[in-house]
Amino acid sequence: MTPLDDDLLTALRAARPGLGCQPSATSPEATAILTRILQDHHDPVPHVIRRRLLLAGLPAMAGAVAAAVLVASVTSSGPGSTRPTVSSVRTAVLDAFERDSGDIVYSTRTIRRSKGPVVTQQAWTYPGFPAVGEQVRFRLFQLQGGVPVEDTESIYIADAASTGLTQSTTEGPKVAEIIDVEYATRTWSRQQSSSVLLAGRFSPSLIRDQVASGGFTVVGTVRLDGRQAVEVTWSRSHGPLTVTTTLWVDARTYQPLRSVATTRAALHDMLLETDTTQYQILSATPPNRDLLTPPIPAGFTRTAGSPHF
């Protein structure tokens, strides 16, 4: 963990008045750590937590305040349109996810901040919605300022906990086959590892589980970049932080198109991060399955292991 991670844990623990209570946003500990979060610019890349279970796409609280988000043309369908119900959207989205469960879900996450380069993460998940006991192939390709940084494939067996954002030390897959390409050192490796890279926020199952719970609000039918879409939203609080997610699904197929998540601190309603993820469903053809394996650039040297696994 970085010093900022340690300080964040210490501050949040100190700010929490008691078991099951929310931290006070006005506590000096919370004020100090949020100030430091907003002033810290040394780590522009959202880093994956390097523990036994590595969760891709987690929010980067060490980064600067987000300055912009990918521009999406969203317009209302007009006063005459009928707003779908939560029940009808839930049924249609779950049916679409069941229909696409054996396909590949490709997603691109882009983060822009007031300082530092644009960060892009591309991910492929196959199958998109794995069953317990099924083999999962997950690839994460990270770029900074358009320059490749790391390209990783993680192959593991799904269990009931493997699609969540957090797991205890006794949950989740215990081993994975890892192919890791490190662009800074021009090296690559292939190994069995007890550090399992999971899809984390990239996992389509997280959207499915949120929709299945019915814990969302239907905003209505809109046009997303000229395409008819249904807009839904939900929020979750984690101590002094609130993450609000807006999801657009195709109004005809109910496949996910785009999501935008904003992370705000309760103190002064400060915006800490905004990120946009775009989704595409790919049929599991041999050429598309080839996309799950990171290509090894010419001239890269194979090593016995990776510094990250």
Angle at 237 between CA 129 and CA 52, to 5 degrees: 50
pLDDT of residue 145: 81
- Give residue 6's pLDDT: 41
* pLDDT attached to residue 248: 95
Segment 58-72, tens digit of pLDDT: 443 333 333 333 334
Q: How far are the Cα atoms of 33, 178, 182, 189 from residue 303, in angstroms, in the given order?
A: 39, 13, 10, 5
Per-position pLDDT tens, the chain of length 309: 444 444 444 344 334 343 333 444 445 555 455 544 444 443 434 334 334 455 565 443 333 333 333 334 455 555 556 789 999 999 999 999 889 889 999 999 988 765 567 788 999 999 988 888 999 999 999 998 889 999 999 999 988 776 655 555 567 778 999 999 999 999 999 999 988 888 766 677 788 888 888 889 999 999 998 889 999 999 988 888 888 999 999 999 999 999 998 888 877 778 877 889 999 999 999 999 999 999 999 999 999 989 888
Q: Are 259 and 277 in contact (CB under 8 A)?
A: yes
- Nearest-angstrom CA–CA distance, 297 and 181: 9
Residue-level pLDDT at 51: 40
